[in-house]
Amino acid sequence: MIDDILAELEADTSLEVGESFARVTARYFEATRSGEGQVSTPRSTDELARRFDEELPRDGRPVSEIIERLERDVLSDANKYYHPMYMGHQTSAPLPVGVWMESVIGALNQSLAVSEMSPTGTAIEHQVIKWMSKLAGYGAGAGGTLTSGGTEANFTAMLAARNAALPDALEEGVGADPPFVVYGEHAHYAVTRAIGQLGLGKRRGIPIPSRDYKLDVDVLLTTLDRLRDEGKSIMAVVATAGTTATGSFDDLEAIGAICAERGLWLHVDGAQGTSGLLSANPPRALNGLKHSRSLAWDPHKMMLLPLAAGMVLTRDERDLDRAFAQQAPYLFHSGKSSRVIDQGIRSFQCSRRADVFKLWFVIQRFGSSGLGRLYDHLCHTARLLYDAIEERSNFENLHEPESNILCFRYLGRNPGSGTSTTSAADVERIDALNRELRARYNKEGSGWITATVLSGRPVLRVTMMNPRTSGAHVHALLDGLTQKAKEIESR
Ligand SMILES: Cc1ncc(COP(=O)(O)O)c(C=O)c1O
């Protein structure tokens, strides 16, 4: 008998049930944005796994019961990105209207594969791509698609570059002597992963060392000269606008000019930093975007969209189309200009949710200037932390923030003990202290930060992704870290 289930699923469409979900979200916003409670969870992964370790439910339960459990068992120990003391990874405190739009996107369930499955979604995606391409300095022939994030965007762009270098690769494979990809050593792992996954072999990737955490342009030049002299072909040069570790911008003007002169494909991984284009004072490096042939740009990072909302753009839409070059006449349809309207021909995915709806909504809600002000505010908060660290002798900054990311270290109780004049034992002690500090601070729950390794040494790292984080929170972070460090040092 199906009647009982049909009745239940119709009842679930009611406003009352919808409101019970909305109330969970609103309660979560309210409880976390004020900065009360734990930022994350003190519980171990084993403990959490045990909480959910149960037999597959055979029978259904009322929505209200499951919602109660959702709040008790799931939300309680989730990471609270709305908490102003969350300064961890590049996951945003998502803009509320973006969150509310999630239920609309789910309800409409449009698939962006073909426009007949998403008539308004496809039209809107083309329009949003047009807006973003224009911001990037691309002309009328540009194109792109939303992606699941920066990893897919980078992969897609590299696939397009591979197709330009090896037009037969889709049919014939890459052969015994595939071309090389040159990238900054600090590039996101998505880049080296793509080099491997595209069949080139990771050894065809050539990392260029950094100077001040940016791709060293002089070394790039000598490397490109050497490859040319050795008769090696180059598929792409990859630069980063907003690196994962330090938020630094590679010198896109200089790198772009070199690529333009040599006819090389420049791909810019701007997953993190391209949103700076919205700022009243965009990072100067972004002027060089005009030289790029492809660009990864994640609205789910500095435009504060909820996951997932990534994007890849190519200066020439045909580069993207040729990368997939799949004939499916039963499926894909062209417009009047014979340009294919269906986004499925330029996307890795077939069924694809209409994340563009929430992006379109957010752009209308705040405008490019509002989103730009949010970007600037997040960068300003990173600068406040930098200034606060400059005033404290037991911390050191590793770099000036170019965006919303900052790496720093705790130097121990004796100021200056982290400098190069200290003994190897001291260096090891401070390294161990910084490693332990982050773990203990996060576990205690009043704040949450990340860590990375710079020049072989462990460092503390913050990413400002929550507009609610203020100067007071920045000082609270340093006070909290100092307190924890004291506890460790006095053991
Ligand atoms: C510079 C850069 N590129 C790419 C990525 C990957 O993006 P996603 O996690 O959305 O796949 C990241 C994520 O941290 C990043 O910082």
pLDDT along the chain (491 residues), means of 10: 94 98 98 94 96 97 98 97 97 98 98 97 98 97 98 98 94 96 98 98 97 98 98 98 98 98 98 98 96 98 98 97 73 69 94 98 98 98 98 97 98 64 83 96 96 96 98 98 95 84
CA–CA separation, 270 and 249 (whole Å): 9
Q: What is the model's pTM?
A: 0.96
Residue nearest to atom 6 of ligand 1 (CA): 150
**Strand-by-strand arrangement of the 457-463 sheet:** 86-87, 448-454, 457-463, 405-410, 395-397
Q: How, if at all, do strands 266-269 and 294-296 pair? A: parallel
If you write DSSP's letter for every residue of 81-134 in order, what string do you get?
TTSTTEE-SS-----HHHHHHHHHHHHH--BTTSGGG-HHHHHHHHHHHHHHHH
pLDDT of residue 15: 98
Angle at 419 between CA 417 and CA 422, to 5 degrees: 65
pLDDT of residue 418: 45
Domain boundaries, the chain: 110-352, 364-489
| Helix residue ranges per DSSP H, 202-268 | 217-229, 252-262
Which atom of ligand 1 lies nearest, measured to the CA of 242? Answer: 1
Q: Distance, CA 361 to ligand 1 centroid (Å)?
A: 23
Give the number of other Cβ atoms within 10 Å of residue 87's Cβ: 28
CA–CA separation, 308 and 286 (whole Å): 24
| DSSP-derived secondary structure letter, 74 | I
Q: Is the CB of 184 under 6 A from ligand 1?
A: no
pLDDT of residue 235: 98
pLDDT of residue 245: 98
Residue nearest to atom 16 of ligand 1 (CA): 244
Give the number of other Cβ atoms within 10 Å of residue 66's Cβ: 11
Q: Give CATH for domain 364-489.
A: 3.90.1150.170
CATH class of the domain whose range is 110-352: alpha beta
Residue nearest to atom 12 of ligand 1 (CA): 150
Cα separation values, 480 from 35, 46, 184, 435, 485, Å: 15, 27, 35, 15, 9
pLDDT of residue 329: 55
The two tokens of residue 17 are 């049930």
Q: Is the CB of 310 under 6 A from ligand 1?
A: yes
